[in-house]
Amino acid sequence: MRIYQEADYEAMSLRAARIMAAEVVRKPDCVLGLATGSTPVGAYRQLSQWNQEGHLSFREVRTVNLDEYKGLEPTHDQSYRYFMQVNFFDHLDILRENTHVPNGMAADADAECKRYDELIRSLGYADLQLLGIGHNGHIGFNEPGSAFVAPTHVVDLTERTIEANSRFFASADDVPRQAMTMGIGCIMAARRILMVVSGEDKAQAIYDAFCGPIDPKCPASILQLHPDVVLVGDKAALHKLVEAGVSVCG
Ligand code: GLP
């Protein structure tokens, strides 16, 4: 595992964007696993800029997103499809048909989860999977539980997650109670994991994920078993790791 400690959000985003760009340069038709949330937005902005300046092409890139709220139309301004369009895809030369997000409106959610798993498998899994982390250690929408769940599945969101994500909605009551998420199986099958994290409020989750026991109570802790994890964070988010003596670059 490699850990890059950057001064602040901007530097963290630049580092993450460089690692993602390197993947696209190395393999122009790579499969990128993508994440939503506020943390990756800076990296998406930087990649969009490089694309528009002609330094980087996404023409052959395929993408698979981690998750989607159940019951939100793709055009709903809080759906993750909409988020990806506005924050990333609309600014790139990527082909829409090469971008994949679970369909939160599918009549049969379990069948949709199965379809999504099969799609990811047929693409050969992600070459690079971008991840953020929730305050409770969730990755995608894999919430703390009694077991790591391998396949794409429907989850009940925890109160903590609903509260954290309510900042994007008019009120907590408007946050969907369920979501579809890529399971731990597809995440762990990615060849490389890139986790991005920013802010003091994530420091404990990061400490638990990488210094705590491998336990489904902290879903991100399973990443300790992945052979190629790159963690890029700002000082505020990484300080508990550094204080624990974990060596970092930067
Ligand atoms: C949501 C997403 C996660 C994301 C998390 C943290 O719950 N499903 O994929 O990592 O939020 O978001 P943020 O980066 O805004 O803190």
What is the pTM (predicted TM-score) of this model?
Answer: 0.97
Helix ranges restricted to H, the chain: 9-26, 41-52, 80-87, 109-122, 159-165, 184-189, 203-211, 235-243
Q: Calculate how far, in angstroms, residue 183's C-alpha sits from the geometric centre of ligand 1.
A: 15
Kindly report the length of the chain. 250
Residue with tokens 């509260």: 163
SS3 category, 158: coil
Residues in Cβ contact with 147 at an 8 Å cutoff, skipping those fewer than 6 apart: 216
Band of the pLDDT at 30, cuts 50, 70, 90? very high
Condensed to tens digits (0 to 9), the pLDDT of residues 57-71 reads 999 999 999 999 999
Return the pLDDT at 174: 93
Average pLDDT taken over every residue of the chain? 97
Condensed to tens digits (0 to 9), the pLDDT of residues 78-136 reads 999 999 999 999 999 999 999 999 999 999 999 999 999 999 999 999 999 999 999 99
DSSP symbol at 142: B
Condensed to tens digits (0 to 9), the pLDDT of residues 35-55 reads 999 999 999 999 999 999 999
- Residue having the nearest C-alpha atom to atom 9 of ligand 1: 140
Q: String of b and e for 74-91 (b: at least 16 CB within 10 Å)?
A: eebeebbbbbbbebbbeb
Residue with tokens 């600014």: 91
Band of the pLDDT at 250, cuts 50, 70, 90? confident
* Ligand 1 pocket list (CB less than 6 A): 35-39, 66-67, 132-134, 140-141, 161, 165
Question: If you compute the radius of gyration of the chain from its CA atoms, what whole number of angstroms results?
Answer: 17
Domain 2-243 fold is Rossmann fold (3.40.50)
- Tell which atom from ligand 1 comes closest to the C-alpha of 140: 9
- Quick check: is 143 catalytic? yes
- Quick check: is 29 catalytic? no
- Quick check: is 67 catalytic? yes
